[in-house]
Structures are given as C-alpha cells and as structure tokens.
Amino acid sequence: MANYFEGSGSLTTTDLFGLFFSVQNTQIFYPKQLIIQTLRDIFSLDTTYHYVRDPWGFPFTPNLTDVSPDAGLHDDKTTRIWIGENFRKDVIFYPAVVIRSGGSVSTPIGFNFDKDTVLYGTTLVSDGYGNFKQFITPTARVLTGAWEGTINIDVYSRGVRETDDIVEIVSMATRIWRYEELRIAGLLIKRVSVGSVSESDDRNDKLFKTTISLDVRSEWRIQIPVENVVDAINICVEFGHTNQQTQQFVEDPNMEIHTYVNILEAIQAL
C-alpha cells in the first residue's frame, strides 16, 4: 500500500518513510515527475508540437502507417511530441523530450537540521455555559533539510529549427511560465542552462540533440509526534464579571475551581 507524503503530494511504496516519520522527501522521483507533467501540460496547449495522452497518461503514439502528416495538428489522433522519463522510450518517436536525474547532494538548512523547531496544535474545550477555551500544545518535533541537484532534459528532433523551438519552450516553461507552480509544489528552479546542438547519423537521416540542465533545490521534512509526551493540561477556571466602565475582569474570590484533565481524554471527547 502506498504511503502519502503530506508535504509534497508524492507517493511511495516503501514503509520506511512512515516508520521514520518522514512526511516529505522531494529528491529524485518527485522532481522528475513534476517536470514531466509540467511539460506535458504545456505542450498539450500547443498546435505544432501538440502533446496527446493515451488512456494510461503516456504519450499517445499509435501506428502512423498511411496516416496524414498533419495528424495531431487540429485533432488528438496522435501526439506530435514524445515527453517522458529516460529509459522508457520503447519506440522511436521524434521529436522527443527525455527527462533524467543528474544527481543530488545534501544541503543542510541549519547545522542541527532545525531540530529545535516545534509544531503546535490547538485543542478547543467548551463547557455547558457556552464558554470556549483554546489550548495550544506541542504536536511534533520537526527536522528539515534540503537537496540540491540537476535535472537534465534531452531534446531530440530531425531538424535544427525544430530542436531550437522545443528548447526555448522548455526553458520558458520551467523558468518563467510555470516557475511559481513548481516552487509551490516543492521544487525550486535556480538556473536553466542550455547546451549546444549536436548532430548524429540515425539510419538514413540526421538526428539533432540538445541538453537542458535545470539546477534545482528541494527539501525533506521529518515530523516526530510528541503528543504522548504531554500527559495532562492544567486548567484553571476563574469566575467573575467584566466591569462595564473599566472593561476589566473582576474575579469572584469565593469561586475558583482547579482540575486536571488528561489530554487524550480531552481530544477524544471533542
């Protein structure tokens, strides 16, 4: 059963992240999928390099034998560009945008991983007279850190102009058009660098390739629950009235109640 990273929306099939209270790890898999889905969404809006998904979400690459050269321009008969992860190109389809990880390094946010950070929660308690009181208690101890690395995007096509067009679209999409969306999703694009075009022979034709490198920064987060460490809350209820002239609370010296309520019982009773 997949575990859910609350901080990043990423899924993992291992139990270890849950056992060690890791709620976010935006390191390799999640950044790649963010870039892939972002580029697929961008190119799906285009006419010339129109991206079309198949029923499983992958590039729709049907048999193009006897299919019109303008198929996919104004319809969804086929995708006109292949966008996906490296090592998943089962068939040759150009132009192609292939995303792969260039590695990452650990970059601490603080020398102690911000281990002094505490996450607080609130408990609302009410009585039969309509009085409400909020109690703020620690719920988790937080540890944070960062990853810095590179995501490489290889662009393949049959023409130099076609390659240049796609490279410019990918650069604008990651650095400008979808920068804020990627940042909010947990991936910061620090820099976009583009290499020169290389040419190679591919059967009876030429193949052109350019590599785009994205310098990225992401984070990991651990939340260790500490709710069970707090055994009880000391509640003091004071009785009195508010002076209408001075707007000060005047206590009734004859009525004061002290009691102890177990925090687990208070939460279960809500």
Residue-wise pLDDT tens digits, 77-133: 899 999 998 766 555 789 999 999 999 999 878 777 777 788 888 878 776 667 777
Average pLDDT score over residue span 1-30 = 70
Position 202 scores a pLDDT of 83
Q: Hey, what are 81's tokens?
A: 């560009």
Instruction: Kindly tell me if the per-residue pLDDT of 195 is higher than 90.
Output: yes
One-letter amino acid at 184 equals: I
Residues 90, 54 contacting (CB under 8 angstroms): no
Contacts of 79 (CB under 8 A, 6+ apart): 50, 51, 52, 53, 59, 60, 61, 72, 93
CA distance 229 to 139: 9
Could you tell me the CATH superfamily of domain 28-42+81-108+144-225?
Phage minor tail protein U (3.30.70.1700)
Residues 100, 150 contacting (CB under 8 angstroms): no
The kind and range of the H/E element at 101 are: strand 96-107
Position 243 scores a pLDDT of 63
Residues 219, 145 contacting (CB under 8 angstroms): yes
Residues 148, 104 contacting (CB under 8 angstroms): yes
Instruction: Please tell me which residue, 17 or 232, carries the higher pLDDT value.
Output: 17
* Domain assignments of the chain as residue spans, ordered by start: 28-42+81-108+144-225, 232-270
Residues 76, 212 contacting (CB under 8 angstroms): no
Residues 190, 204 contacting (CB under 8 angstroms): no
User: Where does the pLDDT of residue 208 fall: very low under 50, low under 70, confident under 90, or very high at 90 and above?
Assistant: very high
Q: Shortest CA distance to 221 belongs to which of 141, 166, 148?
A: 141
In this predicted structure, which of 37-51, 130-144, 195-209 has the lowest mean pLDDT? 130-144
Position 7 scores a pLDDT of 41
Q: What are phi and psi of 209, to 5 degrees?
A: -140, 140
CA distance 83 to 245: 72
CA distance 128 to 133: 12
Q: What are phi and psi of 20, to 5 degrees?
A: -105, 20
Partners of 55 in beta bridges: none
DSSP 51-63: --B-TTSSB----
Q: What is the DSSP pairing of strand 82-85 with strand 96-107?
A: parallel
Instruction: Kindly tell me if the per-residue pLDDT of 14 is higher than 90.
Output: no
